[in-house]
Every structure is written in structure tokens, then in C-alpha cells.
Amino acid sequence: MAEASSSEELVLAFLAEAGDEFVSGEAISGKLGLTRAAVWKHVDALRAQGYRIDAVPARGYRLAEVPDRLTALELRPLLNTHDLGRELHCHEELGSTNDRAKELAEAGAEHGTIVVAETQTAGRGRRGRAWVSPPRRNLYFSAILRPDLSPARASELTLVASIAICEAIRQAGVEAGIKWPNDLLASGRKLAGILTELAAEPDRVHWVVIGVGVNVNARAEDFPEELRAEATSLAIERRTPAPRALFAAACFTALEDWIDRHAEEGFGVIREAWRERSVTLGREVTVRTDGREIVGIAEDIDATGALLVRGRAGVERILSGDVALLRPR
């Protein structure tokens, strides 16, 4: 069964690479080392899984439509990363992709391993909040990283991830911005969130898990009533659904690109890119942290990613907390 599935992935990848062009059965069989009968069998199996593949005598096969699913069959042909997503764990349902990724990380999973779920029954946001995860609407994934970073710098990866996901959202046609430290907003409403967890010793990081939840094709009615004024999705903003597999692959690519830049160039380039995409800086904010409430102007992030807020007592350095954006400066 595993061998057949692998061959189906190869046939699908070959058809996907051809785009709108027809590919002859002879070309597929020659390229992949399969018989013409085996090619037909795999095409038939793909059709049974929801793929629409046209077949025209003397022209061959063409991939006409891909089902809106997030499995290895849909994702692998779209990947152009060197590490992220090369090891994929795709699930119809999980309690939490972060929890599963942490289990895999503890068991020795390699850098770049990604866990994807169509729905989460116990999805989490920051500070233990629930993350609403309607099935087959959105993108929920967690990436396992094994960075060469000191534990003190591991928090930088949250900002790296926020830049990457913001970039993928903008490429999908939605003008998103980052609310410190790791929420993505569009039209002032929450579109995506990031949750970073890690295991470390005093002098080294064992692993980092970056969890990402993006509202892709959620409709207003998919959100609890109390969140409808605060949440949005790509589909709501674009007024048309987004292809989830393509968007997922774009997220993986952007995340890997920015992780590589961070490793090669340091936090300075990340700090500048985050500033450019921020919807927090220059705004009056309320920050709730450690049982306190701070009101002031969000002026900058420092060289560690902490938020600098100028309030009545001067500039305060915020390492963690809930930020509410007030009126523009």
C-alpha cells in the first residue's frame, strides 16, 4: 500500500508539474519506470480520491482539478523547500498540532518536520486560549525546528514566523499586518496566530515547535458569535475561497526562507522586516502583563524583540503580554 501511494504521488507530481498541458502515458511511464497499465491504475486511484484528471486519446492526461484537502498527496507536489515539509505528518483530526509535534520532537524528529491537521479538538493560542478549528476550512500546522541558537534568542523565531506568514498572506492577496508579537490582522481583525514552544537546557535549544493557525476559508458563521466581530479569513477578505494546499506550500516556503535569513544574517534583518509589517508601532496601546495594565505609545521593538511602550512612567520594555490597539497616534 505504501509503495502504491508513493507511485500515486509521483504520477500526481508529474501531472502537476505539467500544469494545463497534456502528458502522454508513455512519457509518464518512461519517466517514472512504470508500465502503461500501472499509470492508468494510479490515475484511476487518484480519481477515486477526488482528483479530476482528463484523459484524451493521443494526447494523454491532464490534471484538471485538485480536491481541497491537506494530505501528502496534495502538498508534496507543491513543495520547493529544502527541509520544511519534506517529512510530513498529515491528520484528519488532532487534539493539537503543537502537541503532536512536541511528541515527535522528543522522539527525535528531524528539523523541518511538519504536522498538519484538518481540524483540532484542543487547538491552543497564546496564554492557553482555545483556537477555534473548524474542519477542512483553514490551515493548522506545526513545524519542528532544531536551530543553532541560545535559549535566550529562541523567542526571535516567533517574530521570524510572523513575518513569513504575513508574507504568504500578502501573496494570497490580503493586506495583512503584524500585531506584536505574533498575531496577523487584516481589516483590524485577527486572521492568523502563532504559538512557539521549546525544550532547552541553559546553554542550548533541543527543539522549537512553531504552531501556525490561519483562517483560510472560514465563513463568519464558522466563528463563535462572540468572535465574529474580531476574526476574519482569507476568503472573507478576498471575497473568494483560497486554494489551501497552495497557500500551505507558500507558508512553508516563506517560513523556511526567513528562518534561513535569520540564521545567516541575524536578528537585525528580522527586526527591520517586522517593523515594516507592524500594525502596532506608532499606535496607542493597552498592554496587560504580569497583573498590570500599561497604556502608552508602542514606539519600537528592541534588539531582542521586546516591545517598547512609552507611558506615563517613561519607556517600558514588554517581554510578554496582551496588546490591545487603541486609536492611531
Residues 184-196: tens digit of each pLDDT: 999 999 999 999 9
Residue range 283-328 in CATH 2.30.30.100: yes
What is the average pLDDT across 314-329?
83
Any idea of the CA torsion for 185, 68, 117, 41, to the nearest 10 degrees? -160
- Tell me if 2-65 shares its fold with 283-328: no
Task: State mean pLDDT over 305-325.
Answer: 91
Q: Tell me the one-letter amino acid at 303.
A: A
pLDDT, tens only, 216-252: 999 998 888 888 899 999 999 999 999 999 999 999 9
* Mean local confidence (pLDDT), 302-315: 93
Residue 3 pLDDT more than 60?
no
CB 118 within 8 Å of CB 92? yes
Rounded Cα distance between 44 and 130, Å, is 41
Tell me the mean pLDDT in the region 295-322: 92
Q: What is the pTM of this model?
A: 0.86
Domain boundaries, the chain: 2-65, 72-277, 283-328
Helices (H), 49-133: 72-75, 97-106
Q: Look at residue 6 and tell me whether its pLDDT is greater than 50.
A: yes
Q: Is residue 276 very low, low, confident or very high in pLDDT (cuts 50, 70, 90)?
A: very high
Rounded CA separation 274/127 (Å): 22
pLDDT at 124 over 70: no
The mean pLDDT of the chain is: 91
Altogether, the residues listed in the chain come to a count of: 329
Share of the chain above pLDDT 90, in %: 72
pLDDT tens-digit readout, 12-52: 888 888 888 999 999 999 988 999 999 999 999 999 988 99
pLDDT given at position 151: 93
To which CATH superfamily is domain 72-277 assigned? Bira Bifunctional Protein; Domain 2 (3.30.930.10)
Residue range 267-276: average pLDDT?
Answer: 97
CA dist., res. 118 & res. 203, Å (int): 36
User: For 44-86, how does the pLDDT look when each residue is reduced to its tens digit (9 = 90+)?
Assistant: 999 998 899 999 998 999 999 888 999 998 898 889 999 999 9
CATH of domain 2-65: 1.10.10.10
Beta-carbon contacts of 248 under 8 Å, excluding residues fewer than 6 positions away, are: 70, 75, 78, 116, 139, 141
Query: How are beta strands 88-91 and 114-117 bridged, if at all?
Result: parallel
Please say if the pLDDT value at position 297 is more than 70.
Answer: yes
Alpha helices in the chain (DSSP H): 2-18, 25-32, 36-48, 72-75, 97-106, 156-171, 234-238, 244-265, 267-277
**DSSP string of 196-236?**
EEEEEETTEEEEEEEEEEE-SS--GGGS-GGGTTTB--HHH
pLDDT tens for each residue of 191-210: 999 999 999 999 999 999 99
